[in-house]
Amino acid sequence: MYDTLAFALTKRCTAACEICCFSSCPTDKETLNLDRVKQYIEESKDIEEVKTIAFTGGEPFLLYDDLLELVSKARNAGKRVNAITNAFWANTESVALEKLGALKSQGLNFLSLSFDSYHEKYVDVNNVRNVLRAATDLNIPTAISIVKVKNENIGHIVDRLGDAIYTSDIKVAPCLPSGRAAVNFSIDDFDRTINVDTCKCEYGGNLVVLYDGKVYPCCSQAVVDMDLSVGNFNELNLHEVMKLLKNNALLYFLRNANFSFYVDYAREKLKMDVPNKVVSPCELCSILFKDNKVDLYYEHVEGMIRELKETVAK
């Protein structure tokens, strides 16, 4: 079930973090057709399983006026509304209160902030504090997302945020070898602690439209490395996208079977070099399905479908 519909409104960002999965920067131009985004939101009214609409980037607050309108439309569609930001815009607490207050009045339910040793090179920690305090005053739930590489100490990040973090959830995630991180760090810099035999898909409930219009079945940091797009939102309506996702056998087994269904086949039949441990299921997914490898698994998937049909027929 896809209960969250996310839009990466723009690839552009005020930062150019070393670990950015999309390799975003201030000069990026790619932005979604916002009229098309509005159409998708309108179509979501008829899709009850979509409970939440999220706006991300890049940095969606670069399109603040548009964001206000989109948040309002999402609320009017009967959805919860989430957004993400790096807080570049919150130079003072009064500015943070004004902008967040306007967003809340339009329907914003939750705000996620990205801040770590890579973001702090571009965004003053006081901006993040301003947003956290304003959100507390406005009763907007928040979470702080901290990404780290292997052996990186992140205690100073928490210390610098100070008492502003008390009402916010803190989420620490290991950096994936994706996007700019794959270029700036060696494979030994990534925390590969998860055994591939225990991996299961973690983002099965998220449907994301990236800044280039491609529609993906998850919001993983590594999604751009995978050949799992089901099409382009400029060519498909939301109902068509949902049908494609639900009728995709490869995705079905990815969601409902252990990753060993694909790992064993990749190792034994495709002779792929799959490591025993990975940073997360998302890294494993990118290893299995990047570089146009998806077609290599269709014979395996079709064989399993035949077996299931024969079992049911008995």
Query: Would you say residue 65 lies in a domain?
Result: yes
Query: Would you say residue 115 lies in a domain?
Result: yes
**Whole-prediction pTM value?**
0.94
Query: Would you say residue 266 lies in a domain?
Result: no
What is the amino acid identity at position 204?
A: G
- CA distances to 38, 82, 135, 243 from 239, in Å: 14, 22, 35, 6
What is the amino acid identity at position 182?
A: A
Query: Would you say residue 23 lies in a domain?
Result: yes
Cα separation of 250 and 265, whole Å? 13
Cα separation of 67 and 45, whole Å? 19
- Asked if residue 205 has a cis previous peptide bond (ω within 30° of 0), the answer is no
Residue 85 contacts residue 111 (beta carbons within 8 Å): yes
Distance of CA 10 to the CA centre of its chain: 13
How many structural domains does the chain have? 1
Residue 206 contacts residue 287 (beta carbons within 8 Å): no
Cα separation of 266 and 74, whole Å? 41
User: Residue 10's domain spans which residues?
Assistant: 4-191
Residue 281 contacts residue 273 (beta carbons within 8 Å): no
Query: Would you say residue 98 lies in a domain?
Result: yes
pLDDT tens digits, the chain, 314 residues: what are they? 799 999 999 999 999 999 999 999 999 999 999 999 999 999 999 999 999 999 999 999 999 999 999 999 999 999 999 999 999 999 999 999 999 999 999 999 999 999 999 999 999 999 999 999 999 999 999 999 999 999 999 999 999 999 999 999 999 999 999 999 999 999 999 999 999 988 888 777 889 999 999 999 988 888 888 888 999 999 999 999 999 998 988 888 888 878 899 999 999 999 999 999 999 999 999 999 988 888 899 889 988 888 877 776 66
